[in-house]
């Protein structure tokens, strides 16, 4: 009996050591993955609240999707930290900015919130060009908005930059009791279309809103760094493609943006 107890104790200690080793291996693996994703190191990213701060890089983001999915609520929550409990239809587009400091670089995001009505579709398509990233939004309580994702996806892929990054966003998770699109269904669409991110949000309570745009800033920063690295390896006369690297009309400068906003009111 005594020998059996000692044997059981040794087996227990061996199992604990094995579990600990597996745990350490998993932690090490996660660190390596994060290191690879961040191109050799940890990125620090913080929101800059000073709208007049200078910037080192600027990227154009377009927010698209059906009407009533909460596109304007997402952008106002992200940029102004407010939620308006009433609905007003966006006519044409609205313009917002966010700025982040990633490592030592200031990254400015110019965000174009577009309307979802069919009659403005030709106007929206003008803003696909030179977008660095598209945020494609549906509502988790609207089957139609989810079924129409393919239409929006086809438009951004055929009329936008061929290298544009695309985030899929399932909004209104605060209405969980009205959900008709499961998280799994959204995940499957994201995987089947090979998009860059899938995330569920609530503009009403702010869930994952800041994370959404922070991930956008980090991805675009990493893509730009990768572009510069590739460009440094080739002849300077060769121009390599990069999402949004071309002339980003009509968002090249803030004065032009403000002029266009005033003329469209």
pLDDT of residue 95: 85
pLDDT greater than 80 at residue 230: no
Q: In the structure, what pLDDT confidence band is assigned to residue 11 with cuts at 50, 70 and 90?
A: low
Cβ atoms within 10 Å of 195's Cβ, excluding its own:
17
What value, to the nearest 5°, has the Cα angle with vertex 133 and ends 132 and 137?
Answer: 160
pLDDT of residue 207: 97
pLDDT greater than 60 at residue 188: yes
> 41, exposed or middle or buried, with CB in 10 Å at 0-12, 13-18, 19+?
exposed
pLDDT greater than 80 at residue 145: yes
Q: In the structure, what pLDDT confidence band is assigned to residue 238 with cuts at 50, 70 and 90?
A: very low
pLDDT of residue 124: 66
pLDDT of residue 85: 75
pLDDT greater than 50 at residue 30: no
Q: How large a percentage of the chain has pLDDT more than 90?
A: 47
pLDDT of residue 228: 64
Written in H, E and C, the secondary structure of the chain is: CHHHHHHHHHHHHHHHHHHHHHHHHHHHHHHHHHHHHCCCCCCCEEECCCCCCCCCEEEEEEEEECCCCCHHHHHHHHHHCCCCCCCCCCCCEEEEEEEEEECCEEEEEEEEEECCCHHHHHHHHCCCCCCCEEEEEEECCCHHHHHCHHHHHHHHHHHCCCCCEEEEEEECHHHHHHCCCCHHHHHHHHHHCCCCEEEECECCCCECHHHHHHHHHHHHHHHHHHHHHHHHCCCCCCCCCCCCCCCCCCCCCHHHHHHHHHHCC
Residue carrying structure tokens 């050799």 = 40
pLDDT of residue 58: 93
Q: What is the mean pLDDT of the chain?
A: 76
pLDDT of residue 15: 53
Q: In the structure, what pLDDT confidence band is assigned to residue 34 with cuts at 50, 70 and 90?
A: very low
Q: If phi over 0 gives left and psi between -120 and 50 gives alpha, with beta otherwise, what is residue 206?
A: left
Please write the tens of the pLDDT for every residue from 60-113. Answer: 999 999 989 999 999 999 999 998 776 555 545 688 899 999 988 999 999 998
pLDDT of residue 25: 39
Q: Per the structure block, which two tokens stand in for 121?
A: 């579709």
More confident residue, 54 or 17: 54
Task: Using a cut of 0.85, tell me whether the model's pTM lies above it.
Answer: no
pLDDT of residue 161: 87
212-231 average pLDDT score:
85
pLDDT greater than 80 at residue 256: no
Residue 202 backbone dihedrals phi, psi, to 5 degrees: -135, 110
Give the strand pairing for 45-47 and 93-102: antiparallel
> 129, exposed or middle or buried, with CB in 10 Å at 0-12, 13-18, 19+?
middle
41-70 average pLDDT score:
86
How many residues are present in the chain? Answer: 265
């Amino acid at each position: 009996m005594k020998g059996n107890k000692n044997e059981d104790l040794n087996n227990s200690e061996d199992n604990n050591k094995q579990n600990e080793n597996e745990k350490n291996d998993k932690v090490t693996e996660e660190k390596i993955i994060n290191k690879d994703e961040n191109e050799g190191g940890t990125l620090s990213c913080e929101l800059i609240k000073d709208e007049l701060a200078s910037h080192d890089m600027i990227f154009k983001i377009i927010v698209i999707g059906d009407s009533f999915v909460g596109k304007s609520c997402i952008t106002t929550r992200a940029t102004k930290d407010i939620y308006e409990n009433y609905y007003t239809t966006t006519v044409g587009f609205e313009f917002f900015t966010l700025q982040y400091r990633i490592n030592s670089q200031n990254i400015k995001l110019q965000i174009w919130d577009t309307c979802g009505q069919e009659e403005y579709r030709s106007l929206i398509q003008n803003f696909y060009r030179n977008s660095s990233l598209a945020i494609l939004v549906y509502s988790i309580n609207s089957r139609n908005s989810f079924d129409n994702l393919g239409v929006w996806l086809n438009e951004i892929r055929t009329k936008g930059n061929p290298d544009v990054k695309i985030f899929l966003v399932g909004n209104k998770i605060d209405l969980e009791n009205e959900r008709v699109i499961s998280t799994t269904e959204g995940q499957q669409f994201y995987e089947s279309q090979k998009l860059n991110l899938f995330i569920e949000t609530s503009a009403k309570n702010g869930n994952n809103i800041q994370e959404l745009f922070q991930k956008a800033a980090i991805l675009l920063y990493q893509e730009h760094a990768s572009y510069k690295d590739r460009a440094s390896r080739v002849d300077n006369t060769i121009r390599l493609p990069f999402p949004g690297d071309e002339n980003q009309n009509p968002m090249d400068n803030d004065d032009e943006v403000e002029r266009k906003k005033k003329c469209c009111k």
